[in-house]
Structure 1
Amino acid sequence: MEKFLLTLNVQHGYAVANRVNLLASNMNNVTAGNGGSGIYGSNGAVLSYYISGLGSSRLLISKVGSNVQQSFRTQGLKGFNTFNGKTELDSYITQERFDSNRFTIRKIELSTGVETVEKVCQKKFCCEFNINAVVPTIEEVYQLVAYDGEDSKESKIRGRIRICALMVCDSRGESCASRSILSTTKFLNISVHTEAKNEKEHFYQPVTLRTKLTPLEPLTQEESINEDIRTINVFTKNNTDIILFGLYGRSSGSTIFISSTLLVFVVVFRTLF
């Protein structure tokens, strides 16, 4: 579902899930909503990236460490210097259409010094979030979202998908995961946990986003299999400016065309910029 997928967080999530070093280059065609390239470490580090609303390019150079030796699963790899100002991204095109009626959405209450554990489900697919945060004096609204099913006919993704995420919303809870919404809550620790039937054709990866359209770091994904149950955990710590944090799964039979892709999770239809 392209509302949750932007080029950089797809690239980063792939590197994190597979624990590989990744160099990804994307055509920068702003009129079509294409753009975003990066170099990512097998430890989940975002080493270098470029994303722009301008028809331009940049050479990315970074030192990449040796990948830690690991025994890959029998199916092999799964799934398939920065700008600080907003002006550079003003022309970047993102998807706006979103049908919130197909999702399970619920508000979550966060308190300083209190460990918050909340679960969100759709059908038999459930995710549990564990959060330690320092909240500001001015209340910020966060909601959990879950989805398990086929994507819409209008989507560029085909096949069954699963999504669970924490997202920041406006004060009315009507518009969520927009980079125009202030997010100052400090997340000391945040994790998402899910258990699902071990379907080998399903690939899971983190999906995270900041207001600058960049993924969160540090970021870790762990998976384990016990008989026919697959357990997936995604962790991050000491982050602010979080507008989206969660998990995205799809069947390997799904076809994804990453063009403008991601986010923009908007409960009420609106324009990001």
Structure 2
Amino acid sequence: MSFDFLRSASTSNSTFRVVCGEMVLDDRWNVHSEVAIALVRTGSMTLETTTNSYSLQQGDIYFISPNQKYRISENRNAVVDVVLLNLSNPASVTQEYIPQSIIRGLTTGNCTHFAKVTPDDAFYAEMLNDLRTVTKAENEKFDFFQLLVHGKMYEIFYILFANKYIEIFDVETQGKKYRALRRITEYINENFCENISLDTIAQTTGLSRYYVSHLFKELMNTTFVNYVNELRLTRAAMLLTTTDTPIIEIAGMSGFNNISNFNRAFKMYYDTTPSKYRKTERQTF
């Protein structure tokens, strides 16, 4: 178990595999195999994953799924108490009482990767009490404390799942989405220099404009327009540095319908103009 990021306040319970403590907050990327359920005891911070960032205030409770890469990108005097739960130990009691479908969804990443419960949420007080009870029981280890920990952890999971803070994804559905996205991106990669649009993609793939747009947002954390523009600008940058073709022709060869749109997009992406980019990059070689 990977507890190097944790100031451990208790050793692992041999049956339920729970560890409680204070999380060490730095700007390093963390990945751990345990479920993390944490409380921002004081201060505030920004937690960043590979696809999003989340603002966390004092009192917020948050969930991070196993094997999710994250870091604290901004720390404003935050102190975070965390409960870690290992679901991968076959000897663990969790394997007997938590449905295998849930365990598989969590450990394979087919689930919600991050969730937040704020003090305004209806089930917040109950979750906060459960977390405090688990931490107290794990620290003091009084007689039969494991039974209390088991009960409270199941309550926490019930709140998170029943109220859709966490969802297990249908693997087959996810597979269909990725296959559809691959068809879309393959077509774009071969035709991005042409005049393509969401309507073009929809007609070619037999999918709706909305579904195509949604796939880019959900699976690639970008938009259709941004994806196409990145391909076009990357091609333009290559042509600028490897050929003497006039810039206005490069714009057309890269899929831009006029020089103004090209110059504006290039400046936004590379923070310089096409002519300055050409001059600078050639001087580098």
Is this a same-fold pair by TM over 0.5? no
TM-score, with length taken from structure 2: 0.24
Give the number of the structure with larger relative contact order, counting CA–CA contacts within 8 Å between residues 6 or more apart. 1
Structure with higher Rg: it is: 2
More helix by share: 2
